Amino acid sequence: MTAALDLMRTHAALLPLIIAMVGAALAMLCPPRLSWGLATIAALLCAFVTADTTVRVLIAAAPLWSVAEGVPLLADGIGLFASPLMAAVAALALAASGAVLSDIERRTWPLAMALVLCQLFGWLGALAARDLAGVFVAIETAWLASVALLAFSDGRTALGGALRMLGAGGVGSALFLCGVGIFYRSVGTLELSAIATAHIESADAAALGAGLMLLGVALKAGVAPLHDWMGGAFTRPGGPAALVLGTVGVIGALAVIVRLAGYVATSPTIGEGVSIALAVLGGASVVIGSVQAVGAHNLTRLAAYAGAAQAGGILLCVALGSPAGFAAALVQLTALAAAALALFGGAAAGGVQSLEHLDGLGRRAPLAGAAIMSGAISLMGAPLTLGFLGRWRLVEAGVGAGWWWAAGAVIFASLAGVFYGGRLIERLYFRRAGDLFHGPNDAWRWALAPMLAASIVAIAFGVSPALLLTAADSAGALMLGGLP
Amino acid sequence: MSAELALLGVLATPVLQALLVLALQRPPGLRDVVHIVGALITALCALRLVGAAAEQESVRLVLAQPLPNVGLAFVVEPLGALAAAALSGLGVLHAVHAAGMVRATQEKAPARLMAFIALAGAATMAVAFSANLFTFFVAYQALTLAVFPLVAHRGDEEARRAGRTFLATLLTASMGLFLPAMIWTYAIAGALDFQPGGMLAGKVDIPTANILLVLFVLGLAMAAMPPLHRWLPESSRAPDPALVTIQGLAIIPAGGIGVIKVAAFVFGPALIEARLASLALIGLAGVGMCVAALIALSRRDLRERLAYSCMAQSLAVVMGALVALPMGLFAAALQIVALACAATTLSMAVGTSAAITTRRNVEDYVGLGRVMPWTFAGFALASASMIGMPPFSGAWAKLWLITALGAPAGGLMWAAALVGVAAVLTFAHLGPLAASALSGKAPTDAFKRPDGASILLAAPVILGAAATLSLLVLADSLARFLSPIWNSAP
Amino acid sequence: MGPEILLTRAIFAAALVLLMCGAVAAWASNNAIRRLAGIALSMLGAILGLGALGAPNALLIAAACAVFVQLAIGAAVTVRLQEDYGAIEAPETDQADRQDDMPGRAP
């Protein structure tokens, strides 16, 4: 047992990627229900392996190993923090998708499961890749897997949305590539760890390149105003594609932005330009996402727009470029993950499409109601929730750096949160139930329970977050401490 | 019982009470007993804490550590202990009254009503004992969320609209004004702990102090400062037991406690730096008081009239707290107690008469005191206290307030005059009403049912009215008891 | 400024123009085929730019693979659109979706 654990730890960098890939291949070959179980187990294994490393390095302060796997991987603070989060979100989303798989044709189940694991593989790869080429390939893998999942698993209504996603993603990829080219021209390397020490020929060009790269990923993370594709992608509520895209896809892309920014926004020569670009984009995303969430009539879209507002907060944290800023970004990322699990899970459990379907859901489906409510209050930034903690850390880091307006943006997001979150809670608990319940009604609906329960527990974690804060702080410090 | 245990008891008992009330809905007798016993235990714990505060015991309870250097912490200090004792003591009367009301009105969801009343009580206790701004903010939000179901209790479109106004005003103000002020304070002081002598004292410049004060005071929309007072009249169609909680026992007192805590523990001497803002706010409160009392005069529905009347009284607390004098803080603290006694009694009396006679309009009250002498005796006494007639509680509070405003150090004769005008207007909208109820010709068909008001409905009213006499005997000892608030030495 | 640098810049400028034109079509076009052509064009522009800026071959190959997969998925989606709706214009398919929703469950 110990030997197996040691072996696992020796190959901890590569193992999650192998598990995800092999899991995807096996899931393709299995009968439908079995493929669901297998994929869930594979994601859980990934979560276990990555969490083991994270706990050892970020909490127990074990030294970071040097990777010698023969593949270009690089472990850093943000990758270490975000990987287990990513894997856990994927495992919960996969488990939950068992409840809504019946929405799609039975013969496509194995393909859908394999595509989810491909997404996990892609985002984990992008969080561990050593150079920008690796990051590009990994992001493309994840993104195209999510487009394919939407296109091939969600009936014909999703086809238009998939095409929009594909178009937006193509633009994002082109921008990313263009950025990488310009960046390479002036920095002379694609290696992430070499950026800090590289001799930079033209700081402006390098900053432009870095900005384009981040813009390319931000497009895929659904950062407003670049989230045009979201409206089409989230037309159907309960389907597995929306569930996975809203959770795994968004969190993965945001984690990659935070990681990339950890290398470029902290560079003394180009950091300032990148910071400004990130701050502008972040501020815009907070405002636009909040306003759109207030006006949304569809729960999954509301969750996506609220997510865009949160993503804006994350960009603001990252723009600070300080260890405290990165720690705050990671806390916010965790908060967003919990809220997304709660809202998308709740929407799937209740079959909630338009907000009217929420009426009286709190009594008909108590767990789903509780999850949506906790997601809503976390998005409001109500104290003692994870959402509040993330915003508080942002304000602390922002005010420390003299960025008062960041506090303003946070308060704007909270105020908008009061409106759209309050509306959700009012419908859940203070309206009479409407005509019919659209959610899954068979025994498989219990597959959603872990996701809903985990989201509630995670949000309640805001009451005593010492462990999370320690991990985030050491991730931020490790990220920047590695630089001279 | 150790003081720590009492502090935990005062916070946890109402929560437990709410859960038990929901769990033991049937038989109704058991539910009511649980509700009353819970309120009683809370009141006993609060009394124990008054003892602890009098002996200046250091009692602190940290429930969680959600931010690295800010805890969810509660501490016993004189202001909190006094307010908690008064509110929880009146809470017992209200619990008895609520048990009578849900029977007399055949309330459809009595357990839910009682449970949220208890939760509101818990949140109010948490507001009173909060040890820092963060805890205060959490408790304030919890109170808003606990009272929202009471406002929207009836569930029809009107109630839902009132609920939305209530929630939107209070949450928006606290998130949009109070929270930024709290963050700003944290950035200046590096901490959020309430401390006598003020956490901002000596650390803040004049413009910042002025802006902060405005943000804090307007952010505390529960104090009904205009223009953020719409929620109060809007919520006046809530069920009667809920109205007692809103106007007398939870929301308005919590707003007052908040303003006093901000003035005494956040600003302290730094209130001098914020002179401009405090003058403007005192002016706004003074004018608001008179206008509210005037609007009350124009309302025929007793519930609306009381809502405006309570608003006027609440603004007196704000004025007292902002004078920047120990006397003013003392007046504000007394005013909270006086307001709680009078408003609770009045709204319970209105509830009793509405439940028994279905009469709610001013003109229907003529002679009603002849058939319900106990209830209307209580109504009259509480009205006298609200107006500020000696020897009732309200008189002492108003006296100190006017003295503080008019004192040479305060130098605000105009504000003192506004308080006087408001008292006259309060007399105009409550005095003749009480008089005509007691002296008019008794109506012949007053009662819905022949047996009149039960003891559960009448006794709390008269006991509440008796409580308005409390400050007559207690005022002096309260001055000593409360003195640690304005003395910066521990 | 030598002629080589001038040529590089000219190629890069052309690449940018391609990228932008493609991006507009990929983002905003209603027609599925045009959207795909837009993706192809913008990726082509990006690859051309990479080449002009002297990026490593690995990146060029990765980009080419990505373009291939994007177009493959896009083509598959377009075929399914044509099969399921008999149209590849977004307004027509949206209209069909709305008609599907009408008699069905509540909006």
Pick the residue of A163, A213, A298 with the most C CBs within 10 A to test the interface with C by mutation: A163
DSSP state of B63: E
Give percent of chain A above pLDDT 70: 95
Q: What share of chain C is helix, strand, coil (3-state, %, to 5)?
A: 80, 0, 15
Residue B121 has pLDDT above 90, yes or no: yes
Q: Does C78 touch chain A (CB under 8 A)?
A: yes
Report residue B489's pLDDT band, with 50, 70 and 90 as the boundaries: very low
Range of weakest confidence among A3-17, A315-329, B212-226: A3-17
Instruction: Flag if A156 and C84 touch (Cβ within 8 Å).
Output: yes
pLDDT on residue B260: 94
Residue B448 has pLDDT above 90, yes or no: no
Q: C27 or B14, which is more confident?
A: B14
Report the distance separating Cα B171 and Cα B174, nearest Å.
5
Which among A133, A173, A434 has the least Cβ separation from residue C59?
A133
Q: Does B157 touch chain A (CB under 8 A)?
A: no
Residues B322-379 pLDDT 10s: 987 888 888 999 999 999 999 999 999 999 988 888 888 888 888 888 888 888 999 9
Report the distance separating Cα A372 and Cα A421, nearest Å.
9
Cβ burial, residue C92 (10 Å; 0-12/13-18/19+): middle
pLDDT on residue A435: 63
Q: Contact B118/B41 with Cβ under 8 angstroms?
A: no
pLDDT on residue A69: 61
Cβ burial, residue B92 (10 Å; 0-12/13-18/19+): buried
Q: A403 or A127, which is more confident?
A: A127
Quote the strand ranges of B4-96, DSSP E. Answer: 60-67, 70-75
Residue A307 has pLDDT above 60, yes or no: yes
Average pLDDT for residues B146-151, to the nearest whole number? 92
Average pLDDT for residues A176-191, to the nearest whole number? 91
Instruction: Flag if A156 and C80 touch (Cβ within 8 Å).
Output: yes
Question: What is the residue-averaged pLDDT of chain B?
Answer: 89
Average pLDDT for residues A184-196, to the nearest whole number? 88
Q: B409 or B91, which is more confident?
A: B91
Instruction: Enumerate the β-bridge partners of residue B62.
Output: B73
Range of weakest confidence among A65-79, A393-407, B127-141, B187-201: A65-79
pLDDT on residue A392: 87
CA B472 to chain centre: 20
Q: List the one residue out of B204, B103, B89, B217 whose CA is nearest residue B448.
A: B103
Total number of domains constituting chain C: 1
Task: Answer yes or no: is C89 within a domain.
Answer: yes
pLDDT on residue B487: 66
Report residue C1's pLDDT band, with 50, 70 and 90 as the boundaries: low
Q: ipTM surpassing 0.90, yes or no?
A: yes
Average pLDDT for residues B166-178, to the nearest whole number? 90
Q: Does B134 touch chain A (CB under 8 A)?
A: yes
pLDDT on residue B490: 31
Domain residues for C89? 3-101
Report residue C107's pLDDT band, with 50, 70 and 90 as the boundaries: very low
Which among B64, B134, B175 has the least Cβ separation from residue A418?
B175
Distant-in-sequence, close-in-space partners of A160: CB < 8 Å, separation ≥ 6: A232, C81, C90, C93, C94, C97
Q: List the one residue out of B210, B234, B226 whose CA is nearest residue B290.
A: B226
What is the chain B residue with the closest CA to A463? B66
Instruction: Flag if B64 and A464 touch (Cβ within 8 Å).
Output: yes
Cβ burial, residue B203 (10 Å; 0-12/13-18/19+): middle
Q: How far is C3 from chain A (nearest CA, A)?
A: 18
Name residues 30-69 of chain C within 8 A of A (Cβ). 32, 35-36, 38-39, 42-43, 45-47, 49-50, 52-56, 58-59, 62-63, 65-66, 69
Report residue A443's pLDDT band, with 50, 70 and 90 as the boundaries: confident
Residue C38 has pLDDT above 80, yes or no: yes
pLDDT on residue B251: 94
Instruction: Flag if B68 and A469 touch (Cβ within 8 Å).
Output: yes
Number of Cβ within a 10 Å radius of residue A443: 8
pLDDT on residue B24: 87
Report the distance separating Cα B395 and Cα B410, nearest Å.
20
Q: Give the SS3 label for residue C89.
A: strand
Instruction: Enumerate the β-bridge partners of residue A73.
Output: A129
Average pLDDT for residues B270-287, to the nearest whole number? 91
Q: Contact B303/B237 with Cβ under 8 angstroms?
A: yes
Residues A419-434 pLDDT 10s: 888 888 888 887 777 6
pLDDT on residue C104: 43
Give percent of chain B above pLDDT 70: 98
What sign has the CA pseudo-torsion B212, B214, B218, B220?
positive
Residue B258 has pLDDT above 90, yes or no: yes
pLDDT on residue B346: 93
Domain positions in chain A: 9-481
Q: A67 or B203, which is more confident?
A: B203
CB contacts < 8 A (A, C): 143
Report in angstroms the alpha-carbon separations of C93 from B126, B404, B440. Answer: 57, 74, 76
Which among A160, A167, A181 has the least Cβ separation from residue C49?
A181
Which among C27, C62, C80 has the least Cβ separation from residue A171?
C27
- Touching subunits for chain B (3+ Cβ pairs under 8 A): A
Q: Which two tokens stand for residue B198?
A: 């003020």
Task: Answer yes or no: is C43 within a domain.
Answer: yes
Cβ burial, residue C99 (10 Å; 0-12/13-18/19+): exposed
DSSP state of A438: -
Q: What angle do CA B198, B203, B206 make, to 5 degrees?
A: 100
Instruction: Flag if B66 and A414 touch (Cβ within 8 Å).
Output: no
Report residue A253's pLDDT band, with 50, 70 and 90 as the boundaries: very high
Instruction: Flag if A430 and B65 touch (Cβ within 8 Å).
Output: no
Report the distance separating Cα B288 and Cα B297, nearest Å.
14
Average pLDDT for residues B275-284, to the nearest whole number? 92
CATH of the domain at C72: 1.10.287.3510
| Number of separate helices (H) and strands (E) present in chain B | 20, 2
Pick the residue of C77, C84, C105 with the most A CBs within 10 A to test the interface with A by mutation: C77
Number of Cβ within a 10 Å radius of residue B483: 14
pLDDT on residue A123: 96
Residue B182 has pLDDT above 70, yes or no: yes
Average pLDDT for residues A269-289, to the nearest whole number? 90
Task: Answer yes or no: is C12 within a domain.
Answer: yes
Report the distance separating Cα B3 and Cα B60, nearest Å.
9
Q: Which two tokens stand for residue B310?
A: 């309570």
Distant-in-sequence, close-in-space partners of B454: CB < 8 Å, separation ≥ 6: B100, B103, B104
Q: Which two tokens stand for residue B308?
A: 């405006």
What phi, psi does A448 have (nearest 5°)?
A: -75, -20
Q: Which two tokens stand for residue A212?
A: 């384009």
Q: Which two tokens stand for residue B28?
A: 């109704």
Which among A181, A228, A357 has the least Cβ separation from residue C50?
A181
Task: Answer yes or no: is C106 within a domain.
Answer: no
Residues B280-335 pLDDT 10s: 999 999 999 999 999 999 988 889 999 999 999 999 999 999 987 888 888 999 99
Q: Does A467 touch chain B (CB under 8 A)?
A: no
Q: Give the SS3 label for residue A223.
A: coil
Report the interhelical angle of A386-400 vs A466-481 (nearest 10°). 40
Question: What is the residue-averaged pLDDT of chain A?
Answer: 87
pLDDT on residue A403: 83
Residue B117 has pLDDT above 70, yes or no: yes
Pick the residue of A105, A140, A177 with the most C CBs within 10 A to test the interface with C by mutation: A177
Instruction: Flag if C58 and A133 touch (Cβ within 8 Å).
Output: yes
pLDDT on residue A484: 31
Instruction: Flag if A170 and C46 touch (Cβ within 8 Å).
Output: no
Contact list, B177 vs chain A (CB under 8 Å)? none
Q: List the one residue out of B347, B309, B284, B316 whose CA is nearest residue B431.
A: B309
First-to-final CA distance of chain A:
40
Q: C21 or A65, which is more confident?
A: C21
Report residue A68's pLDDT band, with 50, 70 and 90 as the boundaries: low
Report the distance separating Cα B379 and Cα B372, nearest Å.
11
**Global pTM?**
0.87
